[in-house]
Amino acid sequence: MSGRASGFRIRAKLNETVPMSYWNFTRSPASVSLMLDFGRERRIAPAALLRGSRLTLDQLSDPDFTVTAAQEMAVASNLLERTRHEADLGLKLGLSYRLSAYGLLGYGLLSSATGEEAIALAQRYLALTYTYVAMAFRRAGHQEVVTFTPSPELPPDLQRFFTGRAMGAVCRVLRDVIGSDFALAAFDVAFEGTPEGRKQVLGARVRHGQRANVVAFEHAFLEQPLPQANSTTAAMCERMCAQLLSQRQTRLDMASFLTSYLSTHAFDRPPRLQDIAALLNTSERTLKRRLQEEGISFRGISDGVRKSRAQALVAEGRLSMSEVADALGFSDLSSFSQAYKRWTGTAPSRARRRMGHPERIVNTF
Q: Is residue 66 part of a domain?
A: no
Q: Is residue 72 part of a domain?
A: no
Q: Is residue 328 part of a domain?
A: yes
d(CA 157, CA 259): 20
Q: What are the Cα distances from residue 44, in Å, to 72, 78, 87, 266?
A: 17, 10, 17, 46
235 and 269 co-located in one domain:
no
Of 9, 69, 2, 72, whose CA–CA distance to 252 is shortest? 9
Q: What is the pLDDT of residue 249?
A: 65
- Residue 292 sits in a domain whose CATH number is 1.10.10.60
| DSSP, res 281 | T
Q: Is residue 70 part of a domain?
A: no
* Predicted confidence (pLDDT) per residue in 180-203, tens digit: 999 999 999 999 988 888 899 999
134 and 224 co-located in one domain:
yes
**Rg of the chain in Å (alpha carbons):** 21
As a whole number, mean pLDDT of residues 340-344 equals: 90
Q: What is the pLDDT of residue 134?
A: 87
b/e burial code for range 106-126 (CB count within 10 A of at least 16 → b): bbbbbbbebbbbbbebbeebb
Residue 222 banded pLDDT, cuts 50, 70, 90: very high
278 and 305 co-located in one domain:
yes
Question: What's the number of domains the chain is made of?
Answer: 2
Q: Does the pLDDT value for residue 38 go beyond 60? A: yes
220 and 326 co-located in one domain:
no
* Predicted confidence (pLDDT) per residue in 93-124, tens digit: 999 999 988 999 999 999 999 999 999 999 88
Q: Is residue 12 part of a domain?
A: no
Q: Does the pLDDT value for residue 19 go beyond 70? A: no
201 and 178 co-located in one domain:
yes
As a whole number, mean pLDDT of residues 311-320 equals: 83
Q: What is the pLDDT of residue 4?
A: 31
Of 323, 88, 91, whose CA–CA distance to 194 is shortest? 88
Least confident of 8-12, 20-24, 203-207: 8-12
227 and 110 co-located in one domain:
yes
Q: Does the pLDDT value for residue 247 go beyond 60? A: yes
157 and 179 co-located in one domain:
yes
Amino acid in position 32: V
The burial class, CB within 10 Å (0-12 / 13-18 / 19+), for 20 is: middle
Q: What is the pLDDT of residue 364?
A: 27
199 and 281 co-located in one domain:
no
Q: Does the pLDDT value for residue 365 go beyond 50? A: no
d(CA 234, CA 121): 9
Q: What is the value of pTM for the model shown?
A: 0.64
342 and 211 co-located in one domain:
no
Q: Is residue 346 part of a domain?
A: yes
205 and 264 co-located in one domain:
no
Domain boundary, last residue among 248, 269, 295: 248
- Note down the domain range covering 323: 254-354
Domain boundary, last residue among 224, 248, 272: 248
Q: What percent of the chain has pLDDT over 90?
A: 45
The answer to whether the beta carbons of residues 207 and 191 sit under 8 Å apart is no
Q: Does the pLDDT value for residue 158 go beyond 80? A: yes
188 and 93 co-located in one domain:
yes
Q: What percent of the chain has pLDDT over 70?
A: 85
233 and 258 co-located in one domain:
no
Q: Is residue 13 part of a domain?
A: no
Domain boundary, last residue among 233, 248, 263: 248
The answer to whether the beta carbons of residues 253 and 5 sit under 8 Å apart is yes
Q: What is the pLDDT of residue 8?
A: 27
What is the H or E stretch that residue 186 is in?
Answer: strand 186-188
Q: What are the Cα distances from residue 160, in Å, to 174, 182, 189?
A: 21, 25, 9
Q: Does the pLDDT value for residue 268 go beyond 60? A: yes
DSSP notation for 1-61: ---S-------HHHHHHSPP-GGGB-B-THHHHHHHHHHHHTT--HHHHHTTTT--HHHHT
Strand 204-207 relative to strand 133-140: parallel, antiparallel, unpaired? unpaired
As a whole number, mean pLDDT of residues 245-273 equals: 69
Amino acid in position 120: A
Residue 85 banded pLDDT, cuts 50, 70, 90: confident
Q: Is residue 45 part of a domain?
A: no
